[in-house]
Amino acid sequence: MPTGLSHAQRESFDANGFLIVEDVIASEPLDALWAEYEDRLDEAARALHARGRIQDLHAADAFGERYTKLIAQAPEVFEYLDISYALNETLSETAVMHAGPAVFSVLTDPGLLDVVDSVIGPEIYSNPVQHARIKPPQDALTGEIAELSYVGRTTWHQDMGALTDDAEGSNIVTVWVAVTDAMEENGCLVAIPGSHRVDGGRLRTHCPGGAINAENFIPGRGLSPGERTPLPVRRGGIVLLNRYTEHAALPNRSGSLRFSLDLRYNPIGQATGRPAFPGFVARSRSRPETALRDPARWRQLWLDAAEAIQTGAYQGPIYEAERWKKHSGSPLCA
């Protein structure tokens, strides 16, 4: 198990804007995560069945097959498994997500936080920009869902492009956790080395996307020069990304699931870029007693955030999908 990054790894991350670190999360927390997701998928299936959205529970199938079959009946099943509410400009009364204890264990994994400490220092805030991406074989997906990055391939973008402007100066690092192996065949990340440093680190123009959640993307001709570099990583390994690194994920061309969590951290006190959603102190060297240790409390923070949005107690932005719409007619996006 690594205890933070070596000097050479730190230099490589600074130069490339990405770094693969193998063997960060042990098997036990990942096994617990998988078991938790089996239960959550069962809950989702039963809820969707009760609402008439699915006809067959596929209860006898293993997780991967069951998820693939359920998503073919009701694409919204992925929302029950994501670790954030869906990114829209409003939050519906029926919004769902998953904030279970096994997810919290990964978010606060000591080895993972040691690596994060090497990048942003010892005052670590868990940023609420976080997702579970459980991807069936791409060929099994039809319609808009195939172009949605929670389920299908991921288009090119910089993570900063999905945040509110106030986080421009925040030192946010993305920690992408491989819950299954993620290789070229089953849809690993791909990134452009040094793209985070182009023009001193700059948000490039993203074009408005067309899929369900209107994901913004950088078209091929808008990308920085450089070799598109696949970032394969085994289960339990992580990929670090700078917030300006241009990256995408390949389609899953294998016959089985690709499962990852993408998490983000920033120094305590900096803007997260998603003010409607709750983060928490994951570790603090100066004030260790402020670190959140209770997964039930974390879950409650998300429920409270939903209530604040739905009742109007929270009035700020949720997700600025409109932000890139003005570029839809530009030569880059046409």
Ligand X SMILES: O=C(O)CCC(=O)C(=O)O
**Three-state DSSP class for 119?**
helix
In angstroms, what is the minimal distance from the CB of 149 to ligand X? Answer: 5
Nearer to ligand X, 40 or 243 (CB): 243
Each residue 256-285 as x (binds ligand X by CB under 6 A) or -, in order, gives ----x-x-----------------------
Residue type for position 222? G
Comparison of 129 and 292: residue with beta carbon closer to ligand X? 129
DSSP letters along 283-324, please? EESS-GGGS---HHHHHHHHHHHHHHHHHTS--S-S--GGGG
Query: Could you give the strand order of the β-sheet that contains 173-178, starting from the edge strand earlier in sequence?
Result: 18-21, 238-242, 173-178, 258-267, 123-135, 280-284
Compute the least distance from the CB of residue 51 to ligand X, in Å. 28
CB 120 within 8 A of CB 114: no
**Can you tell me which of 87, 172, 178, 249 binds ligand X, judged by CB under 6 A?**
249
Which is nearest to 145 in space by CA: 161, 156, 134? Answer: 134
| Nearest Cα to Cα of residue 38 among 4, 65, 6 | 65
Nearer to ligand X by C-beta: 118 or 260? 260
Minimum distance between the CB of residue 82 and ligand X, rounded to whole angstroms?
12
Question: Whose Cβ is closer to ligand X: residue 81's or residue 309's?
Answer: 81
C-beta of residue 143 within 8 angstroms of C-beta of residue 231: no
Does 252 contact ligand X by CB under 6 A? no
Residues of span 29-68 touching ligand X by CB under 6 A: none
Q: How many residues bind ligand X (CB under 6 A)?
A: 10
CB of 331 to ligand X, least distance (A): 25
Query: Given candidates 13, 78, 176, 298, which one binds ligand X under the rule CB under 6 A?
Result: 176
Decide whether 151 or 306 has the Cβ nearer to ligand X: 151
Residue from 9, 68, 154, 216 in contact with ligand X (CB under 6 A): 154
Residue 20 or 54: which CB sits closer to ligand X?
20
Decide whether 181 or 262 has the Cβ nearer to ligand X.
262
Calpha distance 124→113 (Å, rounded):
8
With b for 16 or more beta-carbon neighbours within 10 A and e for fewer, the 99-132 pattern comes to bbebbbbbbbbebbbbbbbbbbebbbbbbbbbbb
Read off the tokens for 218.
Answer: 């950088």
For residue 164, state whether it binds ligand X (rule: CB under 6 A). Answer: no
What would the two tokens of residue 261 be? 């969590």
115 to 144: interface string for ligand X, x by CB under 6 A: ------------------x-----------
Residue with tokens 């023009």: 199
To ligand X, the closest distance from the beta carbon of 67 in angstroms equals: 16
Residues within the interface to ligand X (CB under 6 A): 133, 149, 154, 159, 174, 176, 247, 249, 260, 262
